[in-house]
Chain A
Amino acid sequence: DGGITQSPKYLFRKEGQNVTLSCEQNLNHDAMYWYRQDPGQGLRLIYYSQIVNDFQKGDIAEGYSVSREKKESFPLTVTSAQKNPTAFYLCASRTVNTGELFFGEGSRLTVL
C-alpha cells in the first residue's frame, strides 16, 4: 500500500534534548513537507523540500532542522533551541505538478 509513514506516533522528551521525527513515503512524490498543528492555529509550515538534497524554510523554521538525502525520506529534528516544541507534527508529500497534499498520521511530541 502506498502512503506516508510517520514515527513514532507519540514521543516524550526532556527539556534540552534533541529529537528526530521520521517521515517515509512510497508514493514516489518529489516534494515533502513538515507542518505543526497547535490548537486554534491551524497548520503551520516548518520546512519543505521539492527535490532531493534541497530544502527551504517555512514560516516557523527556527529551532528545527531537516535533511533530504533520499527521495523517500524527510526526517525532522526538533532541537533544544525550539522554545515551545510540544505539538502535533504532520508530514506530507505531493508531486510538484499537483496541488493535493497527502498527509501522514502525525507524531505527537510532548516535552516534559
Chain B
Amino acid sequence: DQQVKQNSPSLSVQEGRISILNCDYTNSMFDYFLWYKKYPAEGPTFLISISSIKDKNEDGRFTVFLNKSAKHLSLHIVPSQPGDSAVYFCAVMYFSGTSYGKLTFGQGTILTVHP
C-alpha cells in the first residue's frame, strides 16, 4: 500500500521551460512535505519543503505547491536548466506533537532537461 505516489517515472523538458513534478499522498494526517534531488551514486539533497499550513513555498527557481483537499503536491522549476537533470523524490511526514515521524518517500521522477 503506497502512501506516496509519483505517477510519472520520467519527464523531459527543454532548457528554459517549466518543469512540473507531481506527487500524491493518501493519508490526510501528513503535515510536512519535502522534495529531494538525487544524482546517480550520491545521497539525496534537500531541495524545498512546505508545511500543511501553507499552500505555496518559493525558493529561487523552485516552488512547491500543496493542495490539501486533493492530497497533491507539486514542484515547479522555472526556468529549467540542464544541471537540474536528476531524480526527484517527494517525501511526507507528520508531526506527532513531540517530534516528527519517519519520512516516507515516493518512487521518484527522473527529470531530463535538454539544452
- CB within 8 Å of B: which residues of A? 4, 6, 33, 35, 40-45, 48, 50, 58, 88, 90, 92, 94, 96-106, 108
Contact = CB atoms under 8 A, between A and B. Distances in A.
Interface stretch (B13-21, B56-64, B75-83, B98-106): B98-106
B34 interface: yes
A90 B32 contact: no
Contacts of B43: 4, 6, 90, 92, 103-106
A104 B43 CA distance: 5
B100 A99 contact: yes
A40 B6 CA distance: 10
Contacts, number: 61
B9 A99 contact: no
B14 to A, nearest CB: 25
Interface string B33-48: 0101000011111100
B22 interface: no
B49 interface: yes
A106 B42 contact: yes
Interface of B: 4, 6, 9, 32, 34, 36, 41-46, 49, 89, 91, 93, 99-100, 102-108
Give chain A's interface secondary structure class.
strand
Given A103-B43, A105-B42, A106-B41, A45 B49 contact: no
B89 A43 contact: yes
A103 B41 CA distance: 12
Contacts of B9: 40
A103 B36 CA distance: 10
Contacts of B49: 99-100
Contacts of A45: 102-104
B34 A99 contact: yes
A42 B32 contact: no
B103 A99 contact: yes
